[in-house]
Amino acid sequence: MKTRFLISFVLIVIAVCMPGCKKKAPTPQEPESKPEVEVKETRLMSANEEPFGQTADGRQVTLYTLTNTNGLRARITNYGAILVSLEVPDRDGKLADITLGFEALDGYLKMDTYFGATVGRYANRIGKARFVLDGVEYKLAANNGENHLHGGIKGFDKVVWRPEDLWANDNEALLKMSYISEDDEEGYPGNLACTVTYTLTKDDELKISYEAETDKTTVVNLTNHSYFNLAGQGTGDILGHELTLNADKYTPVDEGLIPTGEIRSVKDSPMDFTLPMSIGSRIKQVGNGYDHNYVLNSGGGTLALAARVYEPTSGRVMEIYTTEPGVQLYTGNFLDGTLTGKGGKVYKKHYAFCLETQHFPDSPNKSDFPSVVLQPGQKYTSVTVHKFSTR
């Protein structure tokens, strides 16, 4: 019995000492450190900030980092409330940044692609840059031919948002920012007080929620314009990504990409993603690529699954849940290799896809589309969740 105990004791001592044996002997300058105990790295939810430069008019801008316990990391700046990067593990646990963008603020100050940006006051297009509300015609900035796109010349993507909250607890890490868009800004009526909140959860979700209130009847449609490539940003095109959209219908557009007003079935057309289909399988049949608003089967109003994207080489899956009635599928058709982004990556045509949850384009001029009108005393709310997993 005694001998058995002694052998066990010796074996334990050897096992405990072995890892230490690999350690190089301390040099005379290096004091002997405490015995090394193998500590398994445990990540905590965290929310941090650091300077990110300044705008042309001298305003200091910050870069915020939200990290979850599985290593997912979202970096956001309060310039344009832009999602700067989003690192997500593949099926082997290897992290990659899956959104297009720039390393420094400068790239964002110059861009016209809306990489990662919060878009408003009205995301997407308003035909002929005008609409009528309560019998009054409002003229907006025409920044896309004769049409208005993504809030105008200086939309919400080009303003400095005010940080309101930054914290992490055991379940989530959160950043909340606010912006007051003044009456007549880019031609819109009413002072609009908005907030956007990014929340990274322990369940690998990035939730983006918006709230807005006005002092005069106005229109609102806020979205996030992230460009995703689930294989890793800048690594190639997204034509092999497999997409499912919970949408039986879409809104056909004219040459200026303004909806005609028709709500058409996707059946028997290259627009159909009701079953998993690679993005590239029929893209040649839709001209320059997809740049269309899908009518979600949920009808909006409650948080429901809108889209699922699967990237076969990495195994990454992104699901999008939203309270919005529509989603714009845009396949990076205007990327042409002239932009160099993070890590020196050159962004070519179809190197990313966007799924911009939204109300339908040109709704202020389409009385049959779900209303985008916000009255004083009402609260605009919109929630979109990006949920990540692997297969």
Which of 185, 356, 359, 386 is labelled catalytic? 356
Query: Would you put residue 215 in left (φ > 0), alpha (ψ -120 to 50) or beta?
Result: alpha
**Complex with ligand GLA: residue 69 or 143, whichever CB lies closer:** 143
Q: Which residues of 154-164 are buried (b: 16+ CB within 10 A; e: fewer)?
A: ebbbbbbbeee
Q: Which of 79, 108, 114, 369 binds ligand GLA (CB under 6 A)?
A: 114
How long a stretch of residues is the chain? 391
**Complex with ligand GLA: residue 145 or 163, whichever CB lies closer:** 145
* Alpha carbons 148 and 75: distance in angstroms, whole number: 29
Positive or negative: CA dihedral 189, 124, 345, 309: positive
* Sheet-wide strand order for 60-67: 46-54, 60-67, 73-77, 82-89, 95-97
Question: Tokens 């964002």 correspond to what residue?
Answer: 108
Is 225 one of the annotated active-site residues of the chain?
A: yes
* Alpha carbons 275 and 153: distance in angstroms, whole number: 38
**Complex with ligand GLA: residue 214 or 221, whichever CB lies closer:** 221
Q: Which of residues 310-339 bind ligand GLA (CB under 6 A)?
A: 328, 330, 334
> Are 93 and 331 in contact, with CB atoms under 8 Å apart?
no
Q: How far is the CB of 354 from ligand GLA (least distance, A)?
A: 5
**Complex with ligand GLA: residue 148 or 176, whichever CB lies closer:** 148
Q: How far is the CB of 150 from ligand GLA (least distance, A)?
A: 6
Q: How far is the CB of 182 from ligand GLA (least distance, A)?
A: 24
Work out whether 9 is an interface residue with ligand GLA (CB under 6 A): no
| Partner residues linked to 174 by β-bridges | 167, 199
Q: How far is the CB of 38 from ligand GLA (least distance, A)?
A: 49
**Nearest-CB residue for ligand GLA:** 330
Q: Which of residues 116-145 bind ligand GLA (CB under 6 A)?
A: 124
Q: How far is the CB of 144 from ligand GLA (least distance, A)?
A: 7
**Complex with ligand GLA: residue 9 or 334, whichever CB lies closer:** 334
Work out whether 157 is an interface residue with ligand GLA (CB under 6 A): no
**Complex with ligand GLA: residue 66 or 306, whichever CB lies closer:** 306
Is 185 one of the annotated active-site residues of the chain?
A: no
The three-class DSSP label of residue 86 is: strand
Which of 172, 186, 213, 225 is labelled catalytic? 225
Q: Which of 67, 113, 218, 226 binds ligand GLA (CB under 6 A)?
A: 113
Residue 51: what residue type?
Answer: P
* Alpha carbons 208 and 262: distance in angstroms, whole number: 30
User: Residue 359 burial (CB < 10 Å; 0-12/13-18/19+)?
Assistant: buried
User: What residues act catalytically?
Assistant: 225, 356
Give the residues lining the site for ligand GLA (CB under 6 A).
113-114, 124, 149, 257, 291, 328, 330, 334, 354, 356
